[in-house]
Structure 1
Amino acid sequence: MEPQPTSGKIRRSRLSSGFTGVAIFVTAICVIPYLGVLAAAASGSFDTLAHLAETVLVRYTLTTIVLVAFVMLGSTIIGTGAAWLVTMTDFPGRRWMEIALALPLAFPAYVLAYGYTHILDHPGIVQTLLRDITGWGPRDYWFPEIRSLGGAVLMLTLVLYPYVYLLARAAFAAQGASTFLAARVLGRSPFKAFLHVSMPMARPAIASGVMLVAMETIADFGTVAYFGVQTFAVGIYQSWFTMADRAAAAQLALGLLSFALLLAMLERASRGGAKYANGRRNAPMQRLVLTSGQKIGAALFCLTPILLGVVLPVVALSVMALGSEQDLLSPRYLGFIRNSLMLASIAAGITVLAALILGTLHRVRANRLTGTSLYLARIGYAVPGGVIAVGLLVPFAAFDNALDAWMRATFDISTGLLFTGSIWLLISAYLIRFLAAAIGAYEGGIATVGPNMDAAARTLGQDMPGLVRRVHMPLLRTSLLTAGLIVFVDVMKELPATLIMRPFNYDTLAVQAYRLASDERLEGAAVPSLVIVAIGLIPVILLCRRIGTGRA
């Protein structure tokens, strides 16, 4: 007679099966928006899309491409140049600029848009002062229009270049001194050695940062909508709400989804195909000696994005907030803060847990299935929030309506909107959008945990949940906390999915800022914007502390 399994073994087997079940469930949630967009785009009428093709579709396409291209170019120049200067040279203020250059990452681009509009628009501070000094009338002079494609490029570049800066800085810091010195011995000037040696070696990291910038740019809605720039993200929102045509919104979302997935594949190829040898630091890297003029130029180059991306917006928003009639401590505003914090906290906890389960399953049972699940979970970061919102709302709204009709016909009971009217579908959108960031933080931490520790735990009778609870989680506490903070702040800043999917009369700080700015009440929009920025600075400051101690 074969021995019967003990109750403990049965329980451990069920726990492991539950682990796998949760991973499958998370993967299914990540796939639903893409299938929903495909189904809605194929099943709907193409009349509205044909009308859009005759009127604005070409403009959507060209504007999106131009916006992405120029933001990528600007972020590459600022991020790579600043990273090389703070890593390879010495100039006045370098130490604090090295940290401050990462701070714009805490700012949503639409917050900068509100601040700069208050400063540079026709009734703004600069043009009003100019008219007062010169006595000119509105038609007597030309001034750059901030609410334009160029203005959107500037706003997005100022908040997104830190992606390139942080990755490029890490790559430059890891380079050995021998390769750069060899180029100098062979007669290359410092600038040519940078172009022909340092840049090619850091190209994989720079390319990854630039692709992140591109994906964030096509996902932006708040900035381009406020500036009146006609991109695909704006077209999706207008088709959904203004035209009330969900099929057209899904068809536009499908086009944007294809573009986003193409960028994701390019980013994956840039990481996977790039190989280079990094020389050993057999000699310490001596910072380049700059002339007085070069030091001033380097300091100005690094100081400019800090002033434009951090100092000026904060000062402008603070002045605007002091002159507003918004009471941050009123019950209404406390409700906005409570809603934002609750959504961000729940989404961060669920997203980190999902990343932990998916990552552990692939680590313990690495195969094609777990690898595919991990890949599908990652690509959500490349998909704009508006696309995810459309992809989730279309199938779940159809299910809600079908269930309500069946319950009315069978039991004369109305179920209402079980899914589309709840915060859980919105949290699912956050999970899909930001799961990749949590997975990246998990993988960065788990790489330091050797496989021998897993083997020892399994030898001592630990199943997969026990391995996670007793071995991985204590060792990954810092990485998981970092992942949670990143997701928390990303959810606080997220606008398009929240705007489309939020339950009725359930507003957040981001939605309130967008609503006030849309009504041209910029002083009022400054108050929720400053709260979003203040919360966003938390993980960025933690990251900057790592930079300052040389560990990032």
Structure 2
Amino acid sequence: MPSALAVAAAVVALLIAVPVLAVASSLFSGGTGEVWRHLLDTVLPRYLTNTLILCAVVGIGVAVIGVGTAWATTMLEFPGRRFFDWALILPLAVPAYIMAYVYTDFFQFVGPFQTWLRDTFGWTRADYWFPDVRTLGGACAMFIFVFYPYVYMLARTAFLERVGAMLDAGQSLGLSPWARFWRISLPLARPAIVAGLALVMMETLADYGTVQYFAVQTFTTGIYRAWFSLGDRVAAAQLATALLVVVALVLLLERASRGRARYAGGGKHRPVRRSQLGRIGGWSVTAACALPLFFGFILPAGLLLHMAITQGDAQFGERYFRLVRNSALLAGVTAAIAVLLALVLTYNARATRSRLAVFFNRVVGLGYAVPGAVIAVGVLIPVARLDNWLAATIQSLTGHNPGLLLTGGIFALVYAYLVRYLTVALQGVEGGLLKVTPNMDDAAQSLGSSRADVMRRVHWPLLRGSLLTTALLVFVDVMKELPATLVMRPFNFDTLATQANILASDQRLAEASTASLTIVAAGLLPVIVLSRRITASR
């Protein structure tokens, strides 16, 4: 008979899988054929084309910047290398949609940069050409500067862990630095690079705020248009299914790219010997590392701070603190539940060591690959039906209509967050539990400790840091989340993310700076944690 822990793990996996299954079931719904044919004849090809272009351009951009900076900070000695080791991950603190608002305000015709150009050189509008930020190319640039740290962190770790001794062997065989990079370092780091690119692709496909603000039509914007503008939930669910297929293809390509290859470092780990560069070469590498950091974090954060100080939000005060409270409430509740559920799943896998437990954890892990817009559609379909059934049942029993108990509050929204971010908590808890070997449990029990005592006196002290870090990562992810929050938030319940989006959509960019800066400041917390880990690992 299965244990209570195994049953709880099965229930959690089923609940996480329900939204995806609800979206997939839309393929068997008739729906409004005219709306679907209209989408197919008019905008669906554009959705697919723009989505594929975004993925291709962003993938190339983050690969070049991420791998290049990772190689430089790992293999070369140049001015500022220790600073760039950790600082290059700072753009992760800036959500792509906030960067889109900032750069639009800064580079538009009446913005500070073009105004400075005209004042300095005496130009008029007819005297020069300046690229429009709010285009498909602009969206690609936003994603590249925000997401390259995913590739940077994973590639740098691979370079540090795998290539030291092999590079020495390649050098003894007469290979040039460039040949050693292409023939040794890059192949060994390939799995890490591809894994980083897969994360970037999923984040790009999941984005709504940037592409919506730049008027770039993708599957994500199409889902919102079908739902809110055309009023067809079935068409929205079918578009969500199409987007889910694209995400699945990205994951399959990532897995297929590995083939049967296996990558493992053999022998004793040897530290990498960094090449000393001359003055010109060293400062050139410094400039190359500084550019993505400047455009990905320093400039947007500085502009937000300047706007918040000089112009600010006219609604700053009670409303601002209510937005902070709402965001913190959603993020705190989600983080606490996510860590608790991750503990259930992880301890079940540890206790049973069965394939079924591993399968449950993989089902939960799929949630991070599903865009927020798809999750919102998948959650609303079954939860709305359950909500209506509960209301009808209560009314038939009591004669009182309680209204929407689930979708009318934050329950459904927290559920959507858990589907999206439970995998983050699961990975964090699994990583922490690796530090607790079974031998520790056996030793404690041999001394007369009960299972509860082992968890309290052995596991908790070792897991405490990992659990707090995991909760922090989930907390900040929820603070930044926009697509699902826009769809599912209760009436008159705004967050910092939705407030920034609403104000920016109304071209009130200066007023959006306060909420945006708060989100960036919150995003710095996990970045600081990651930076400390990078420093400690050196």
Instruction: Give 2:360's match in structure 1, choosing from 352, 355, 373.
Output: 373
Spell out, residue by residue over 1:189-236, the C-alpha distance to the aligned partner (whole angstroms, 9 max, x if none).
212211110111111111111111111110011111111111111111
Amino acid aligned to 2:113: V
Give distance in 1, aligned partners of 2:58 and 2:452: 44
CA distance in 2, matches of 1:231, 1:382: 17
Residue identity matched to 1:390: V
CA contact (8 A) 1:356 1:442 kept: yes
Residues in 2 aligned to 1:493 and 1:74: alpha-carbon distance in whole angstroms: 23
Work out the CA distance in 1 between the residues paired with 2:335 and 2:277.
45
**Cα distance in 2 between the residues matched to 1:178 and 1:172:** 11
1:393 alignment partner in structure 2:
380
**Which amino acid is the alignment partner of residue 434 of structure 1?**
Y
Task: Give the Cα–Cα distance (whole angstroms) in 1 for the partners of residues 53 and 244 of structure 2.
Answer: 17
Residue correspondence of structure 1 range 220-231 to structure 2 within 5 A? 220-231=207-218
In the other structure, the counterpart of 1:170 is: 157
CA distance, structure 2, for counterparts of residue 478 and residue 272 of structure 1: 36
1:403-431, CA deviations, whole angstroms, 9 ceiling, x for partnerless residues?
43455566543131111112111111111
Matches of 1:393 and 1:60 in 2, distance apart?
23
CA distance in 2: counterparts of 1:174 and 1:328, whole angstroms: 50
Q: Which moved more, 1:263-272 or 1:295-304?
A: 263-272
Correspondence for 1:6 = none
Distance 2:474 2:461 in 1: 20
Matched, 1:475 2:491: no
Residue 500 of structure 2 is aligned to residue 513 of structure 1 = yes
What letter is aligned with 1:151? G
Which of 15, 29, 32 in structure 1 is aligned with 2:15?
A: 29
Where 1:503 maps in the other structure, the secondary structure is: coil
Q: Decide whether the 8 Å contact of 1:152 with 1:227 is kept in 2.
A: yes
* 2:427 alignment partner, one of 437, 440, 448: 440
What residue is the counterpart of 2:28 in the other structure? 42
Aligned to 2:313: 326
Identical aligned residues as a percent: 49
Q: Is 2:163–2:185's contact at 8 Å kept on the other side of the alignment?
A: no
Partners of 1:208 and 1:270 within 8 A in 2: no
**Residues 153-185 of structure 1, C-alpha deviation per residue, up to 9 Å, x if partnerless?**
111111111111111111111124331122223
**How many angstroms does 1:47 deviate by?**
2.2
Instruction: In structure 2, give the amino acid aligned to 1:376.
Output: V
Q: Which residue of the partner structure matches residue 3 of structure 1? A: none
Identify the range of structure 1 (177-186 vs 526-535) with the bigger mean alpha-carbon deviation: 177-186
Amino acid at match of 2:402: T
> Match for residue 314 of structure 1?
301
- Count of residue correspondences: 537
TM-score normalised according to structure 1 size: 0.92
**Residue in 2 aligned with 1:113?**
100
Question: What is the DSSP-based 3-state SS (H/G/I as helix, E as strand, rest coil) of the residue aligned with 1:315?
Answer: helix
Q: 1:469 to 1:500 in 2, by over 3 A?
A: farther
Residue in 2 that maps onto 1:257: 244
> TM-score if structure 2 supplies the norm length?
0.94
Question: Aligned runs of 1:382-421 on 2, under 5 Å?
Answer: 382-405=369-392, 407-408=394-395, 412-421=399-408
* Correspondence list, 1:235-250, <5 A: 235-250=222-237
In structure 2, stretches of 5+ residues that fail to align are: none
Cα distance in structure 1, aligned partners of 2:449 and 2:370: 38
Paired residue for 1:4? none
Pick from 413, 432, 440 the counterpart of residue 453 of structure 1.
440
Tell me the equivalent position of 2:279.
292
Give me the whole-angstrom Cα distance separating, in 2, the residues matched to 1:113 and 1:412: 51
The structural deviation recorded for 1:506 is: 0.6
Residues of 2 paired with 1:451 and 1:182: CA distance?
A: 38
> For residues 459-515 of structure 1, what are the alpha-carbon distances to aligned partners after superposition, in whole Å with 9 as ceiling and x for unaligned?
678776665444333211111111111101100000001111111111100000000
Q: Deviations over 1:88-142 (max 9, x none)?
A: 1100111111111011111101111111111111221122222334444434432
CA contact (8 A) 1:41 1:248 kept: no
Separation (CA, whole Å) in 2 of partners of 1:456 and 1:392: 45
Q: What amino acid is the match of 1:110?
A: Y
Corresponding position of 1:55: 42
Match of 2:190 in 1: 203
User: Distance between the aligned counterparts of 2:425 and 2:261, measured in 1?
Assistant: 24
Structure 1 partner of 2:61: 74
Deviation at residue 269 of structure 1 after TM alignment: 5.6
Equivalent residue letter for 1:298: V
1:191 aligns with 2:178: yes
The 1-side partners of 2:435 and 2:239 are apart by: 43
- The answer on 1:90 being equivalent to 2:84 is no
Q: Show the counterpart of 1:431.
A: 418
